[in-house]
Structure 1
């Protein structure tokens, strides 16, 4: 149930709440131990924070329930997250199971990069990360976060931007917001069991 919704920039105190959303959204615990899932969610969040130039967190009362991160090509990314990201990666590299999970996600990153390279379009911006607590979906929180990112892009004179998503996510949301699917690839991803997933590239032209 939603109480008072507010929006602000990311703060370090948000990390544990957002890592829990990441962990549950992609069901990390399905293919690795709880400890590995926790470390992977932390590393994923740090990776995204290193790539963004804009954040907005949705709060239900005092609790973070969603976040969007965006990057305008001409804006600088956030250097202060680079050392925490390196520490998070080193913490995983010293553990065998963690290394296997990192390898899986490295393969997914390669697929995303392939989709972008095949598109051969010079984008001005990117939605780096976008996730909501499952209990808040369908209540307008995601649309508000997306709209705020659009306003940021307009302020930065961004003309077009892209994002990566996959078939495990609610990718239909992006189509409802006017984004166009411009790349797709299906492949087997070894996450516990052999699964076939589809990976998508979406783009948006700002009028």
Structure 2
């Protein structure tokens, strides 16, 4: 995902362009809707087998539930667990650090509000959310969606409406929200044009890795666990949104295919700061 100046982000990998096989060079963060991942997985975090990532158990974990020890995947002091509702602010802050400068609201209080909008926009349809922590500090998150699975956070819809109401109370907030919703609609239009949701049950909504997570294998482990989740849900095909501000070579390296593209040069009406926008798709077993 990504947003730029008067456009807006859409989460996916990161602004940097590390080598696809060198996770030490991972970008500062990685959401996924248009900004995608980076680096490769390191040996620091052990692989998670499909048996350890049940399809519905994690997706339906209550926000207040205690995470069973067997669901924690330590690597040194890095742990992985289902997201809880009180993790929302940490995700929003990291999202804003990564993409806050990309909107017209950069440097203003509205920036944090629009970042909250984005995170809730991705969280609303999410059926599985996994947090990475290092000594209690937020290191990364993946938000994944599988059609037909129970929502991880049904309350996200109401919270999204609430933050939209706050944004509409100011001129800048209204303008920024309008631009953001245009971005969302553009992505949906691309999906409809290729009927991707008829053939792909899974989607990576957000893939965000903190700068401080570099060298701990966080990005690679989060990605592998997401693929295992899809596999256990019998998802034959999944997709994600990204754009030219990201290191899309990561997806090529993982074996994903670019199945749709909207080139900024062909659409001057989108504005001079618009990136090229892509949809990538793949199969879980071939993209770990």
TM value normalised by structure 1: 0.89
Give the Cα separation in 1 of the matches to 2:101 and 2:280.
Answer: 24
- List aligned pairs for 1:95-134, cutoff 5 A: 95-121=170-196, 122=198, 123-134=200-211
Q: Which runs of 5+ in 2 are unaligned?
A: 1-23, 25-74
Give the Cα separation in 1 of the matches to 2:276 and 2:102.
Answer: 20
More helix as a share of residues: 1
Give the Cα separation in 1 of the matches to 2:81 and 2:208.
Answer: 15
Higher RCO by CA contacts (8 Å cutoff, separation 6 or greater) = 2
Give the equivalent residue in structure 2 for 1:160: 237
Q: Secondary structure at the match of 1:47?
A: helix
More strand as a share of residues: 1
CA contact (8 A) 1:18 1:65 kept: no
The structure-2 alpha-carbon separation of the partners of 1:170 and 1:23, relative to structure 1 and needing over 3 Å to count, comes to: farther
- List aligned pairs for 1:15-164, cutoff 5 A: 15-28=88-101, 31-32=104-105, 33-77=107-151, 78-121=153-196, 122=198, 123-137=200-214, 139-164=216-241
| Aligned length, in residue pairs | 204
Give the Cα separation in 2 of the matches to 1:134 and 1:24.
Answer: 10
Q: Summarize deviations over 1:105-139 as a string: whole Å, max 9, x none.
A: 11211221122122223211111111111333465
CA contact (8 A) 2:132 2:141 kept: yes
RMSD: 2.2
TM value normalised by structure 2: 0.65
